[in-house]
Amino acid sequence: MQTGTMRHGLLALFAIAGVMTVSGAASAADIARAPIYKAPPAGVLQTQYDWTGFYVGGHVGYGWAEKDWRDSVGLFDVSHQANGFLGGAQAGFNYQIGMFVLGVEGDWSWSNMSGSSNVLGATFNTDVNWTATLAGRAGLAFDRWLVYGKGGVAWANDHYSTNFYPLSTDITDTRMGWVVGAGVEYAFAPQWTAKIEYNYMDFGTERVSFAPGFATDIDQKVQTVKFGINYKFGAGPLVARY
């Protein structure tokens, strides 16, 4: 009786073990077939140049000035171009908002632009001693590249002379006008940028007197192309995580 009971118990144990073995194999197969979910990769770091900050620099370039001289009573109407090299310094501030960069810049350029006309045996001479501008800037930044436009106030200091009038004297004159321009700037190091820029300055017409009782109207427009280097204070890449 006990032997039969033990036999039945052993058979039951074997049956249970078989079921568990089959179930375990099925579960292992299900696990093997189940998709494997991986943790999302860590964020990738990228660097983008930050244009915000104060800067100072220097520039060299070339300029040409269109000069129109007209006697107030119609004795002459002559024109000439004053050409020459220029060099100077600039300082400014940029503030970046996304891709947009807003700023203000002032510059001063020494110039040796000069030119003259010869009409009816008389000479009319112009020398542009220096120019200066104070302008707002607005541009789009493409990482280390900045494309911008500018506009504001301009000044020019000129020296005029002519022997057309009797007892004529030379005149040195500083006049104010407006400037528009455009340029491209590149950040080649964390604190250094290089730029090339074009400016158009219009100073309108101003009346001067080379001799008592005589008046001459001189109209002036100046164009310049400049290559500059800037040093930016507190510069560094803007680190973005996504």
List CB contacts of 184: < 8 A, sequence separation 6 or more.
145, 146, 147, 148, 195, 196, 197
User: Residues in the chain with pLDDT < 70?
Assistant: 1-46, 235-242
Residues 135 and 104: beta-carbon distance below 8 Å: yes
The structure's pTM equals 0.78
For 134-187, the pLDDT digits (tens) are: 999 999 999 999 999 999 999 999 999 999 988 889 999 999 999 999 999 999
> How far apart, in whole angstroms, are the C-alpha atoms of residue 198 and residue 130?
16
pLDDT at 168: 86
Beta-ladder partners of 241: 45
Domain boundaries, the chain: 1-37, 46-241
Q: Which of 52, 229, 59, 227 is nearest to 141 (CA)?
A: 52
Beta-ladder partners of 154: 133, 177
DSSP H helices in the chain: 2-33
> How far apart, in whole angstroms, are the C-alpha atoms of residue 217 and residue 169?
15
The domain over range 46-241 is classified in CATH as 2.40.160.20: yes
Token pair in block for residue 142:
């493409």
pLDDT at 213: 85
Backbone angles phi, psi at 63, to 5 degrees: -140, 160
Three-class SS state of 74: coil
pLDDT at 147: 98
pLDDT at 238: 57
